[in-house]
Structure 1
Amino acid sequence: MFLPDILVLDSVTKFGPEARGAVAIAASHGGVIAAHMALAGGIVGVLLNDAGIGLDNAGIGGLAYCDRFGAPCAVIDHRSARIGDGADSAVRGVVSHANAVAAVLGVRPGMPAREAAEILRAAALSPVEPGPLPAESRDVLTQAGDERALVLVDSVSLVTSEDIGAVVFTGSHGGLLGGRPETAIKVDVFAALYNDAGVGIDEAGLSRLPALDARGIAGVTVAAMSARIGDAHSAYATGVLSHVNRRAAALGAREGMTARDFAARMCGFKP
């Protein structure tokens, strides 16, 4: 979807060469990884979703990251527009925080996302080169006696065909991209964990869970205040389940269970 000279995206993992030099309203979480992907793709100014802010302010970590490169970045209140839905962000989104560069240009909390994007579009902005992706990780953990591996990926976009049948912990938010069920996860894993991103308006931060149920995949989210969004290791270390789908519940998952206990149960589950 396009507004005049403004790119509207469901995710900063989903764009092409048209992004270079563009201002974007994107519905990804506002963490460091998402901000990096936007800058690396040539986007010159971006609005993301604050994802409930969460543990260690991880949901807005991209603000300071973009400041390092002199790039304007703001985040949309997760209570005003659906995470993972760019069109909704453009229509209903309201800015909750802006970085120093965006603030100097006139972006402020309470401003409609479209107005903020138009301010950035009117500025003389150029692409920056942020270098390698910071702190990206993809780790596979196995333990003697387990039925299946535990895969830790900071972004669900890093899931591959090798993960079929595995237990996958992601740092991604639990929202479908543009409401499309096929975006819940690329392959049929045994179980998947996401961050609930503060749940947000229309419970968008949980919308992957029923889509996973339809595929027979156990799906859960950890509370945004229990683990850093964009960081699968944080989800594993300190995450606490906030919501579980029917398949996960049938396998023994419960709200309030630690992510570690969920991993142990799913990896060792014997049907």
Structure 2
Amino acid sequence: MSDAAPLVLDSVTQLDASSRGLVACCASHGGVYAAWYAARLGVAGLILHDAGIGRERAGVGGLDWLEGRFVPAAAVSHHSARIGDGADMQARGVLSIVNGPATALGLVPGMPVRAAMARLIAARLPAAEAPGAKDEARQDIATDGPLRIIALDSNGLVTHEDAGHIVVTGSHGGLLGGKPASAVKADVFAAIYNDAGIGIDGAGTSRLPALAARGIAAATVSCFSARIGDGMSTWEDGYVSALNEVAIRRGGRIGHSTRDLVACLLESL
């Protein structure tokens, strides 16, 4: 039962077996995969980030998914707290979206995260039942000479074998806990993310300068052009909302489609 102190994490990927039966505040986007990941580890209640809500409400799609499993969940407004920063969500976050089970417990839009967490803990909720398997996708899109273009639903799927290639991700463009080392685990040639509504303190694009410092061209696409959490949507639907100086030097411009941006990056070689 969720009678212990809440977990406050920068990402749902930091949850583990010890999270079972606890209430968690995780600064991941509120998409279906994040919700599934948390349910798989048996959290009792969950607060995520609304990531700008965005196209087809992908930024909060996980709340509906959890409602279908009777798990109370809510999302924090991107105007109130930084995505990727659990401590900031707990300190400044204000709810924007609340699912049915959370509403029944008294959570409402506009409620501070601390108050929402207190209500969830006081409810002494049962652990979520483990859902079936679900995979994030990784797909090679194309090869241009020695470079591969890879679509990934999550930045966490980047491997060291991707060094020197282009990764097109469904992840938000925010650093985890503000740490530059969290930007990407391999020295890729270029990386593209979702801007998660950009939000307070420009958090949704905070990976970009960290990647520029490593010589990596990077950009975000608007959350209203592509579904967050969906790498192929970033590739097929995305339009650039922000770029770092490396991407600009290589010809990238705000308003480019993802495909046009990648073409410019390849032409700059």
Q: State the TM bucket, normalised to the shorter chain.
A: over 0.9
Give runs of aligned pairs for residues 11-30 of structure 1, distance below 5 A: 11-30=11-30
Give runs of aligned pairs for residues 44-123 of structure 1, distance below 5 A: 44-123=44-123
Q: Does 1:125 align with 2:132?
A: no
Give runs of aligned pairs for residues 88-237 of structure 1, distance below 5 A: 88-123=88-123, 124-133=125-134, 136-143=136-143, 145-237=144-236
Query: Helix, strand or coil for the counterpart of 1:57?
Result: helix
Q: Give the drift of 1:147.
A: 3.7
- Name stretches of at least 5 consecutive residues in structure 2 with no aligned partner: none
1: distance between equivalents of 2:239 and 2:253? Answer: 10
Normalising by structure 1, we get a TM-score of 0.95
Q: Give the drift of 1:159.
A: 0.8
Aligned AA for 1:80?
A: S
Aligned AA for 1:229?
A: I
Query: Helix, strand or coil for the counterpart of 1:170?
Result: strand
Q: Give the drift of 1:146.
A: 3.4
Normalising by structure 2, we get a TM-score of 0.95
Q: Deviations over 1:110-145 (max 9, x none)?
A: 1011111111112232221111126x21001224x5
Q: How many residues align?
A: 266
Query: Helix, strand or coil for the counterpart of 2:248?
Result: helix
1: distance between equivalents of 2:128 and 2:34? Answer: 16
Query: Helix, strand or coil for the counterpart of 1:149?
Result: strand
Query: Helix, strand or coil for the counterpart of 2:203?
Result: helix
Cα pair 1:189 1:217 within 8 Å, conserved: yes
Query: Helix, strand or coil for the counterpart of 1:13?
Result: helix
Q: Give the drift of 1:265.
A: 2.9
Same amino acid, percent of matched pairs: 50
Cα pair 1:51 1:59 within 8 Å, conserved: yes
User: RMSD of aligned C-alpha atoms?
Assistant: 1.4
Cα pair 2:251 2:268 within 8 Å, conserved: no
Cα pair 1:73 1:99 within 8 Å, conserved: yes
Counterpart in the other structure of 1:242: 241
Cα pair 1:147 1:270 within 8 Å, conserved: no
Q: Give the drift of 1:91.
A: 0.4
2: distance between equivalents of 1:270 and 1:204? Answer: 28
Q: Give the drift of 1:270.
A: 5.4
Cα pair 2:15 2:38 within 8 Å, conserved: no
2: distance between equivalents of 1:269 and 1:146? Answer: 12
Aligned AA for 2:133?
A: P
2: distance between equivalents of 1:270 and 1:199? Answer: 27
Q: Does 1:40 align with 2:37?
A: no
Q: Deviations over 1:16-58 (max 9, x none)?
A: 2221111011110011111111111221211000011100111
Q: Deviations over 1:229-263 (max 9, x none)?
A: 00011111110000000000011111000001112
2: distance between equivalents of 1:116 and 1:31? Answer: 20
Counterpart in the other structure of 1:8: 8
